[in-house]
């Protein structure tokens, strides 16, 4: 039996990437607005920037794989901070902006050495085999990206396959940093907080949220974004799988083993310092062999 939620409630862009996963960014609308919405690429919130850089340094990470680089915002920040970065994404429309930035800054050694590849999480290990070497120190999948991957069979096999690929790209002792919105809260309230915890954007965004149930289970959340930027109003729809916290933690433990060190953060803070965060961020360490 297949869950057909994603084919009933389709994204407005129905582009299909080579590996058969729908590229929701294929019409280029979100990519274009993303660039305007997030403004200049240095405008990450201090909270987020400090959290990410400090955490990666504390864990001794040097070589990072950004598996949802999009237009390149996180990767660029990491390159500027002296990390070595390999960036991948399934959407060429999003990658186009990252490639453009790499070209514009090619005189800087870090940017000249920046590897950008088109890859899909379901085939990631094979897609970038040559880049893995002895394994990355960290794999990052941030900005509510992972939730784009749907559950085509109702047993989350795609989610497990993708996380397995992330794990295979890490060296023993390496870390996966992966986030998702607080879908438990979205399912409870039916609303998505529009304030960005990632970007210092001056542009307004409104997010209209719809939840689709399949066989009595929430199986797809659709977010209609209305973004007003530079007198330009843009609308686009993105769809997400509503990862509930408990289940997500179980899947991580299944792939990384139950002994793996796993730490949960809320909006880049210790869980003890936050109540009902907009985002959960998981840090999980690949066990040493």
Q: Which residues are catalytic?
A: 25, 143, 148, 181, 199
> Nearest 10 degrees: CA dihedral of 156, 159, 164, 167?
-140
Residues 109-148 that bind ligand SAM (CB under 6 A): 120-121, 142-145, 148
CB of 73 to ligand SAM, least distance (A): 5
Q: Beta strand pairing status for 232-240 and 217-229?
A: antiparallel
Decide if 110 contacts 148 (C-beta within 8 A): no
Residues 171-200 that bind ligand SAM (CB under 6 A): 198
Asked whether residue 157 is marked as a ligand-binding residue, the answer is no
CB of 286 to ligand SAM, least distance (A): 20
Asked whether residue 103 is marked as a ligand-binding residue, the answer is no
Residues 6+ positions from 250 with CB-CB distance below 8 Å: none
Please list the residues that pair with 140 across neighbouring strands: 66, 177
Phi and psi at residue 111, to the nearest 5°: -80, -30
Q: How far apart are CA 246 and CA 248, in angstroms?
A: 5
**Is residue 73 near ligand SAM by the rule CB under 6 A?**
yes
Residues 92-111 that bind ligand SAM (CB under 6 A): 94
CB of 7 to ligand SAM, least distance (A): 16
Asked whether residue 206 is marked as a ligand-binding residue, the answer is no
Collapsing DSSP states into helix, strand and coil, what is residue 44? Answer: strand
Q: Binding site for S-adenosyl-L-methionine: residue ranges?
A: 25, 34, 44, 68, 89, 120-121, 142
Residues that bind ligand SAM (CB under 6 A): 21, 25, 68, 70, 73-74, 89-91, 94, 120-121, 142-145, 148-149, 198
């Amino acid at each position: 039996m297949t869950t057909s939620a994603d084919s009933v409630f389709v994204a407005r862009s129905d582009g299909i990437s080579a590996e058969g996963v729908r590229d929701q960014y294929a019409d280029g609308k979100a990519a274009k607005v993303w660039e305007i919405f997030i403004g200049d690429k240095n405008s990450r919130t201090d909270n987020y920037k400090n959290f990410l850089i400090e955490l990666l340094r504390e864990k001794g990470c040097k070589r990072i794989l950004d598996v949802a680089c999009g237009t390149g915002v996180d990767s660029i920040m990491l390159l500027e901070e002296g990390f070595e970065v390999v960036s991948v994404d399934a959407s060429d429309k999003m990658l186009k902006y990252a490639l453009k930035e790499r070209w514009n800054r090619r005189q800087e050694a870090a940017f000249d050495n920046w590897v950008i590849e088109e890859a899909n999480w379901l085939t990631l290990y094979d897609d970038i085999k040559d880049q893995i070497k002895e394994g990355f120190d960290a794999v990052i999948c941030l900005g509510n990206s992972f939730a784009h991957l749907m559950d085509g069979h109702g047993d989350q096999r795609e989610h497990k396959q993708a996380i397995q690929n992330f794990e295979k790209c890490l060296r023993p002792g390496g870390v996966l940093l992966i986030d998702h919105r607080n879908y438990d809260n979205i399912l409870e309230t039916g609303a998505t907080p529009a304030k960005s915890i990632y970007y210092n954007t001056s542009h307004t965004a409104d997010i209209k949220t719809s939840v689709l149930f399949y066989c009595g289970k929430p199986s797809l959340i659709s977010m209609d974004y209305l973004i007003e930027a530079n007198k330009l109003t843009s609308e686009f729809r993105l769809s997400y799988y509503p990862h509930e916290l408990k289940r997500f933690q179980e899947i991580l433990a299944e792939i990384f083993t139950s002994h793996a060190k796993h730490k949960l953060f809320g909006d880049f803070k210790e869980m003890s310092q936050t109540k009902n965060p907009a985002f959960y961020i998981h840090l999980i360490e690949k066990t040493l062999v």
